[in-house]
Amino acid sequence: MHPLTVKLGFDEFPILHTCRGGDVSPGIAIEGVLPNIKSIAILATNTPEEGPSRAAWLIWNINPMPVIPEGIPKGPEISSPIRAVQGRNDFGVVGYTGPCPNKGEIETYLFRVYALDIDINLPAGSDWEAFVRATDRYMNQVGEAIALYTG
């Protein structure tokens, strides 16, 4: 599988992208997308110091582009600044939820970007398990980026 290069532009979350700064989704730069790719999907998972990982953002059917802009609004189907469909994360939100650790604790976010050869047929508001089942067999490329936030 040909890898993608994924960059957030930071290793530690700026406050803007956290619960203390508005939960604004970060911009994501993607390099190396092959010509046969029809859509991009992103799964961001949150790993607290204690406890299981949780889905913090599920978004799919994004037209391939070099940069996914920051500030994707919450909601099931997005038409601006990009067209996309979003799922319900493990925090009960349809859209992005940024890190929100307790004071002195660290949360790690893994942003995994999938390049798919189709637009996936998955209803808006679907959960992490449905997202993984729907994307699994159509993945042509994968890349990831990690960032931390300390409360």
Domain boundaries along the sequence of the chain: 5-143
List the chain residues with pLDDT less than 50.
none
Confirm or reject CATH 3.40.50.300 for domain 5-143, answering yes or no.
Answer: no
The mean pLDDT of the chain is 96
Phi and psi angles of residue 83, each rounded to the nearest 5 degrees, phi first: -90, 130
pLDDT of the residue at 122? 96
Distance CA 59, CA 67 (A): 14
By the 8 A CB rule, do 86 and 75 touch? yes
Question: Which CA distances in Å does 32 have to 1, 118, 141?
Answer: 12, 17, 9
Collect all residues with Cβ–Cβ distance below 8 Å to 27 and sequence separation of at least 6: 8, 9, 67, 68, 69, 70
By the 8 A CB rule, do 150 and 13 touch? no
By the 8 A CB rule, do 40 and 68 touch? yes
- Provide the whole-model pTM: 0.95
pLDDT of the residue at 90? 96
